[in-house]
Structure formats: C-alpha cells, structure tokens
Amino acid sequence: MKFSEMTQDSWAELQLYLDTCLIPYTALTGNQSPVEATEALERLRDFLDLVEIPFKGRIMTYPAYHFEIPEMSMALNTVCKQLKASGFKYVVIMSSDGLLEKEHMPDADLILLRSDIVRKIEETKFRGISGRKSVSCGKNEF
C-alpha cells in the first residue's frame, strides 16, 4: 500500500495489519542523465515489486529517497527510528543501486540491496560450478 492511499480513518483501522514500512532508496548522484535516472527508477520499481506484490496489505511503502548524500546510512537510520516511534513495528530499506553501511543502521530491521543479492547468486552459481568434478580437455583440466 502506498502512503498516499491512506486516510486518517483507514490508518487507525489498518495500523494493526500494516506493521511494516518500506523505504525505497534510489541512490542517484546527480551525475546521471535523464535516461540513466529513469533506468535507475525502473530498476528500483522492479526490485520493490518483489516485496510489495506478495506482501500487499502488510506493507506501507513510503516516499523514496532519491539522492545520495554523505552519511546516508545514518540519515536513513534516523528515519527508521522515527517511523518505529510513529507505530511501525518493522522498517525495511530497499535499494537496487545503493550501497549502505549496515553497521550504521541498527534501527533498520532489514536492508535489501539488489547488488548484494546479485553478488550472492553469482557466488552460489560459482560454488556450484567449481564444486563439480573437473573435466579434462587434452592437457587442460577445467
């Protein structure tokens, strides 16, 4: 559910069910062309869909932080703390392109970075490939 769809009456009624707040983070630097910025927003949208669609009705998506600033991790942590004080039990930060210092974000319950997920998938594939029996090809062994 998007924050803009909420009214004061519906918030009072749904607050028990909407226990998780999602904070999107685009991580634009200002150096991107309009086309690159659009691509970054589309990547973030597609990444958010992986959580928003299956958990519809349990998650409230707040406005995105679009631009990267120094100490971004600490700034997002402050927002997490404030959102929890306003009634959310869990706060999740998602970014398709951003890099965040997780150790500076103790108030975020979950930080999903697309780059981390892609790297872990690639490592898992590599481990699967390297764990297979080697194949000889002439003098070379693979």
Instruction: Give residue-wise pLDDT tens across range 71-102.
Output: 999 999 999 999 999 989 999 999 999 989 89
Q: Please name which of 94, 132, 99 lies closest in space to residue 112, comparing C-alpha atoms.
A: 94
Question: Can you read off the two tokens belonging to residue 77?
Answer: 């942590």
Is residue 142 over pLDDT 50? no
In angstroms, the CA 21 to CA 2 distance is: 10
Q: How far apart are CA 32 and CA 11, in angstroms?
A: 37
Tens digit of each residue's pLDDT (9 = 90 or more) over 15-62: 777 889 999 999 999 999 999 999 999 999 999 999 999 988 889 999
Max Cα-Cα span within the chain: 74
